[in-house]
Amino acid sequence: MVTRTFVKTLATFAAVALSFAARDAEAQKAEDIPPGETPKPTTPRVHHAPIASAEPGTKLVLEASFEHAELIRNVLAVYQTSLGEMKAVPFQRGGERGYIAVIPGEALKAPGIGYTIEVEQTNGTRFSAFASRQKLHPVSVIEDRTDAKERAALSRLGGRRSVVGVAGEYVGFGTTTGTIPIPCAAGQATCQPGEEVVPSVDEQYYRVEASYTYRPLRTVSEFGFRLGLVRGWSLVPLSEYNEERYKVGLNFGAARIRFRVLDLWHLETELQTSVTEIGFSVGLGASTLIGDPYGSKLILGFESLGLGDSAPFGNRFYSRLDLVAGDRVLVSPIVEVTDMPNAETYGVRLIGEVGIALGRGFSVQLRGGYQARRSTSGGPGFGGSVLYAF
């Protein structure tokens, strides 16, 4: 009986001792962790304030702070441009939060970009700490109005800024007879020297030219160049009758520029230089476009060649109404008053032109009409041009 009592007492003391030992072990573990701290995580953390919008062409600075930087080998800002290209820039020390990544300004284009922040740990693993490549955080790029207009116009033109073209035209005014007789010059087959003759000429000329146009589509909407020649016959005002002097010609070059004043109002100026049959000539032209510059519009303009002391070649004043007649067709009635090429009197030209877009940047224009300097005579006119935009 005594033995059993002793054994029970010994077992009780052993259980109490083991209980105190377990409590001492737990207390020792608690003492290993400083008060107020929690166990360190297995992955670092990134704190970043997202950016929602940015200005075009201005660098974008991303700021971030890191927890447990000792676990980080590298942090990248991976971004996608408006063209869909994926690029990356590293985070470096700087800024108020401790680290910054700078996305260059040339990447900031409308409509915007997207970005994510990726962390590479010291153990070689990589994870997305903010957004992801599959779901980028969007940043809207606030587009300038001029940029927006340029982009819309360029899209409408199929992305084709440059235009090259060739054109040709024949113009006949019929037989034009002078009103005042003049003495015949020496060496003429049709009259004697000094004989009074009323001059009469079958007025006609042809024009051939090549052109190039570039379209910035901004405040300067277009600029371009023309090179060409004119050859023909015209009733030139002379002091004596000489058949050879009624031959007219012109080799010319011209540079033009078009300004956008308003969306539906453009101004165009042109400077011309040329060599005529009687000498060097300088000219100027200007026009105003009211309406859609690449659609229906009214054009009013003038051209004068022979300014100052340079050799005269004539003037012309014109109006043109472009009417969109379909997706590919433009119809243009034209009225022109002119004394070109170096004629004695002004004449009137009534012309109709049809432009057809063939596709792939090609287009053609065909024109025809009637013109006269006298009510008693006149003649036909016809021509055309071929343009390629790229």
Determine what percent of the chain falls in helix, strand and coil, rounding each to the nearest 5: 15, 55, 30
| pLDDT recorded at residue 37 | 55
| pLDDT recorded at residue 38 | 54
Sheet of 92-93: strands edge to edge?
45-48, 60-67, 99-103, 92-93
| pLDDT recorded at residue 2 | 43
DSSP 308-346: TTSPP-EEEEEEEEEEE-SSSEEEEEEEEEE-TTT-SS-
pLDDT at 94 over 90: yes
Cis amide linkage into residue 341, ω under 30° from 0: yes
CA-to-CA dists, residue 349 to 12, 168, 237, angstroms: 129, 16, 21
CA-to-CA dists, residue 7 to 3, 10, 12, 19, angstroms: 6, 5, 9, 19
Domains identified in the chain and CATH numbers:
45-143 (2.60.40.10), 150-389 (2.40.160.40)
Closest Cα to residue 82, out of 60, 61, 99? 60
DSSP 168-204: EEEEEEEEEE-SS-EEBPTT-SSS-TT-EE--EEEEE
How confident is the model over 338-389, as pLDDT tens digits?
Answer: 999 988 889 999 999 999 999 999 999 999 999 999 888 899 999 999 999 9
Rounded Cα gap, residues 298 and 319, in angstroms:
7
pLDDT (mean) for 205-209: 98
pLDDT at 108 over 80: yes
Q: Which residues contact 277 (CB under 8 A, 6 or more apart)?
A: 247, 248, 249, 250
Q: pLDDT band at 29, cuts 50/70/90?
A: very low
| pLDDT recorded at residue 35 | 53
Task: Give burial (CB, 10 Å; 0-12/13-18/19+) of 159.
Answer: exposed
Rounded Cα gap, residues 105 and 89, in angstroms:
13
- For the full predicted model, state whether its pTM sits above 0.75: no
Q: pLDDT band at 222, cuts 50/70/90?
A: very high
Rounded Cα gap, residues 55 and 236, in angstroms:
62
Dihedral pair phi/psi, residue 143, rounded to 5°? -80, 135
Rounded Cα gap, residues 89 and 75, in angstroms:
9
Rounded Cα gap, residues 206 and 382, in angstroms:
10
| pLDDT recorded at residue 39 | 56
Q: pLDDT band at 34, cuts 50/70/90?
A: low
Dihedral pair phi/psi, residue 181, rounded to 5°? -70, 145
| pLDDT recorded at residue 18 | 43
How confident is the model over 130-186, as pLDDT tens digits?
Answer: 999 999 999 999 888 888 899 899 999 999 999 999 999 999 999 988 889 999 999
H/E element, 166? strand 162-177
| pLDDT recorded at residue 344 | 85
pLDDT (mean) for 288-307: 97
How confident is the model over 43-82, as pLDDT tens digits?
Answer: 899 999 999 999 999 999 999 999 999 999 999 999 999 9
- % of residues, the chain, pLDDT over 90: 74
